[in-house]
């Protein structure tokens, strides 16, 4: 086989009109080699003829096992086929064969119509956020991105429970000012799994007149926009930042998203902010009625005058003890009402297992406790003795009464 340099020289001399016999004589090669080099479309390349190796006797059995279990580790395969040679050499051959046995799942290019869909996901920032009780915790961030414009909205929330997911979803949709025709989720327990929706989800979707789409497993393309944004947050938003509270995180995140949505996306050739108006035009209007979302319950207030929301206990005016009160909570506040009158109003705690007491409630309980411990007073002059003749008449023992 001639070298790459000889091949290039032969083609140059032939292009200049030099006879092939003269080129062969000049380079000391046969005329046939010169003709083959002139007629070839690619440079010469050395190709080693395949020959049996130590892996060859095991290859058929390895293919069979991979056909049954494509993810079987190479070490297990080596044990099953009785391989005793180099495990590195065995792994290299298994790596060569494995793609032939795996099923192919092609991904289509999706086209998102304006207003049609918004992709929803939870992002967990890789940094613990300080809470009210001095602890720190990894907290979820709900992210909603209309697919046509790729305009991103997001908010940190205290839990992944349905009540908080719906509160945050409504807040982000209100920021958009319109309702996407479809909300795409994967199998988030607080939203639903398969055909089963969490309590309150259907009512929420019905009020918005939108459709919930729970994506099947192994379908990342249908939610790829928002998932790529989550990775982008970790490389572009998080580095070099510190946070003092969830509220501080939300403030910084909202400010950053305002700038990020104004940047040009290479694949779009435009910024999400510039495409948002078209996206909103295809969406549905906000519902005309007020949404009743969040944590809601009605209980009879016990002697300890506390109510529980999520995992925390909040004090209530003890004068409501024994009465039925209505407990409501959103992402920021916990309120308790008695006959429409507020008898407790607390900032919601994002820490867990806390007891939150209003000093005024504690003082009122002390006054009521003191009054309860005092003996009942009897008005002076009250005659508590009853005439025994009243009992005689009641039982018909006095003849004069008949």
Look at 126-135, 288-297, 308-317 and tell me which has the smallest mean pLDDT. 288-297
Tens of pLDDT, residues 114-131 = 999 999 999 999 999 999
Q: Distance between CA 25 and CA 20 in Å, rounded?
A: 9
Question: pLDDT: is 66 or 399 the higher one?
Answer: 66
Enter the DSSP assignment of 295. Answer: E
CB-side exposure of 390: number of CA atoms within 13 Å? 3
Indicate if the pLDDT at residue 391 is higher than 70.
Answer: no
Residues 6+ apart with CB under 8 A from 385: none
- The confidence score (pLDDT) of residue 212 equals 94
Largest separation between any pair of C-alpha atoms in the chain:
162
User: Which tokens sit at 370?
Assistant: 């003191």
Look at strands 355-356 and 312-315 and give their pairing.
parallel
Per-residue pLDDT band at 46 (split at 50, 70, 90): low
Sheet holding 312-315: strands in order across? 306-309, 312-315, 355-356
Tens of pLDDT, residues 227-264 = 888 889 999 999 999 999 999 999 999 999 999 999 99
């Amino acid at each position: 086989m001639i070298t790459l340099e000889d091949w290039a020289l032969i083609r140059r001399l032939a292009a200049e009109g030099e006879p092939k016999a003269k080129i062969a004589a000049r380079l000391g090669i046969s005329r046939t080699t010169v003709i083959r080099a002139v007629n070839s479309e690619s440079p010469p390349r050395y190709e080693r003829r395949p020959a049996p190796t130590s892996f060859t006797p095991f290859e058929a059995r390895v293919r069979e096992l991979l056909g049954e279990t494509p993810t079987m580790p190479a070490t297990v395969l080596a044990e099953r086929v009785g391989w005793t040679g180099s495990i590195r050499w065995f792994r290299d051959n298994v790596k060569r064969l494995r793609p032939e046995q795996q099923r192919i799942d092609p991904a289509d290019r999706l086209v998102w119509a304006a207003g049609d869909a918004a992709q929803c996901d939870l992002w967990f920032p890789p940094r613990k956020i300080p809470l009210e009780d001095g602890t720190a915790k990894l907290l979820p961030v709900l992210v909603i991105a209309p697919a046509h414009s790729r305009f991103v909205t997001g908010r940190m929330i205290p839990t992944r429970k349905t009540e908080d997911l719906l509160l945050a979803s409504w807040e982000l949709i209100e920021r958009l000012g319109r309702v996407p025709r479809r909300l795409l989720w994967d199998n988030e327990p607080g939203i639903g799994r398969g055909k089963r929706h969490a309590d309150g989800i259907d009512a929420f979707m019905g009020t918005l007149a939108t459709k919930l789409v729970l994506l099947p497993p192994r379908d990342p393309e249908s939610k790829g926009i928002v998932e790529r944004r989550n990775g982008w947050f970790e490389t572009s938003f998080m580095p070099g930042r510190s946070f003092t509270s969830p509220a501080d995180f939300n403030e910084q995140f909202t400010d950053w998203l305002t700038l990020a949505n104004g940047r040009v996306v290479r694949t779009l050739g435009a910024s999400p902010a510039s495409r948002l108006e078209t996206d909103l035009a295809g969406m549905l209007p906000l519902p005309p009625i007020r949404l009743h979302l969040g944590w809601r319950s009605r209980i009879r207030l016990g002697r300890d005058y506390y109510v529980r929301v999520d995992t925390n206990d909040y004090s209530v005016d003890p004068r409501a003890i024994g009465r039925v009160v209505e407990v409501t909570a959103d992402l920021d506040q916990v309120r308790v009402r008695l006959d429409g009158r507020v008898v407790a109003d607390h900032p919601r705690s994002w820490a867990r297992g806390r007891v939150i007491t209003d000093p005024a409630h504690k003082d009122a309980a002390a006054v009521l406790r003191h009054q309860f411990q005092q003996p009942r007073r009897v008005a002076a002059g009250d005659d508590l003795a009853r005439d025994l003749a009243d009992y005689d008449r009641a039982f018909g023992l006095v003849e004069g009464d008949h």
